[in-house]
Amino acid sequence: MGGGGSGPGRLERSGDDGRGPACHRGRRGSHRGGGGDERSGRPAANIGARLRARRIAHRPIRQGAPRPLRRVRPLALQARLDQRHPADPGRPEFVRDGAIYLVVPVNNASYGFTAASDQHLQMSRMRAVETGRWVVDAAVSGVSAFIDTHGQVLTRTGLFQPGILRAQIRSSTATTGFVRWGDWLPILAIVLVVILFLIPRRRPQLPAAPGPLPASPRTLVVLPTFNERDTIERVIAGVLERPEHPDVLVVDDSSPDGTAELVRPIAGRDGRVRLLERPPRSGLASAYLVGFTTAIREGYDLAVEMDSDLSHDPSELSRLLDAARQHDLTVGSRYVAGGSVTNWSRARVALSRGANAYSRV
């Protein structure tokens, strides 16, 4: 836990309980938040009730000005009110200045009922590990928590939930590698990238160009699935109807909706269909890699990747396979005549178009 002979201290965190007290009690003394307000046991505004009523006034938020190390005898702590991001109190200079634990007063009122508060908690967990200091997230509004030096949350409140947290923390004067050399890591990373860029490298020997395809190439169509029960039967039927007689490999990530239960009897009736079941949410990219590896290992001439939600029309498969006779890589596009995109954000459309253009380079 801690080092340097410092003993355990005891802190209490009081959340919004209708009266709205927000205080940190040590042995003696108080600390200032970054906004310059003296924080003691005085009642604060009932922010939680206003949030629950969704009456949030969105005002410009600025980060509080940094304050010097505060000493609550006999303990030294760093406290700073940060209305946006709780990571700053974990900067290594605070620990180098002598802070033996970190208090993070956080005001997340303007974020409302979003994931921001939990994200801030994760950042505080990371800072606790990096600095080797206990972190107390003390939310004026948001999530309050006690976090040990291993990043474990000992106790916490829910989002905008009233409550009082009590825990015994252990101070520390130990120095971690992040505290000693953390400021140098970005510089070292840049230097390493430059060195790797300047080092001459041998180009890998390219494999021989593939030979011409046979008259009837063996084709494996890889269909990753996760909760595709409503469409998987139609997709498989559409692929099997193609005159090229492709085989089908369904890679299912333990779909909760029972997709595999529909595929299993189809595979039992038709030898061209196989089902590979994997742990939940193993990933789309790894599903394709498994399919491609299977195609190479079993000597298929062509491997095709398709979505299983009918966004890729199985009737277009014949055109794709015909184009594969003239090209090593053939990619379908949503941006040709007859294609379309629905319910996509602009960012996703831009990414898709960029990937489509990159494949033609």
Reply yes or no on whether the pLDDT at 359 is more than 60. Answer: yes
Does 3 fall in a domain?
no
Q: Are residues 173 and 64 in the same domain?
A: yes
- Residue matched to tokens 């972190």: 135
Reply yes or no on whether the pLDDT at 295 is more than 80. Answer: yes
Q: Are residues 168 and 230 in the same domain?
A: no
Average pLDDT, the chain: 76
Q: Are residues 76 and 166 in the same domain?
A: yes
Q: How far apart are CA 221 and CA 359, in angstroms?
A: 20
pLDDT of residue 152: 93
Cα 301 from chain centre = 37
- The dihedral over CA atoms of 240, 245, 250, 256, expressed in degrees to the nearest 10, equals 0
Q: Are residues 37 and 164 in the same domain?
A: yes
Domain CATH code at residue 259: 3.90.550.10
Q: Are residues 23 and 156 in the same domain?
A: yes
Q: Are residues 111 and 25 in the same domain?
A: yes
pLDDT of residue 164: 85
Other CB atoms closer than 10 Å to residue 66's CB: what's the count? 14
Q: Are residues 53 and 166 in the same domain?
A: yes
Higher-confidence residue of 183 and 37: namely 183
User: Could you give the angle at the alpha carbon of 141 between the alpha carbons of 135 and 144, nearest 5°?
Assistant: 30
Range name among 33-37, 157-161, 235-239, 337-341 with the lowest pLDDT average: 33-37
Residue 295 and residue 220 in contact, taking contact as beta carbons nearer than 8 Å: yes
Q: Are residues 164 and 62 in the same domain?
A: yes
Higher-confidence residue of 243 and 346: namely 243
- Which range of residues forms the domain containing residue 62? 8-180
Per-residue pLDDT of 187-202, as tens digits, reads 888 999 999 888 877 7
Does 204 fall in a domain?
no
Does 357 fall in a domain?
no
Global confidence as pTM: 0.45
Per-residue pLDDT of 99-118, as tens digits, reads 888 888 888 888 888 888 88
Reply yes or no on whether the pLDDT at 310 is more than 80. Answer: yes
Does 206 fall in a domain?
no
- Residue matched to tokens 């340097």: 4
Confidence band of 2 (pLDDT split at 50, 70, 90): very low
Range name among 36-50, 80-94, 185-199, 321-335 with the lowest pLDDT average: 36-50
Per-residue pLDDT of 26-58, as tens digits, reads 333 333 333 333 333 333 334 444 444 444 444
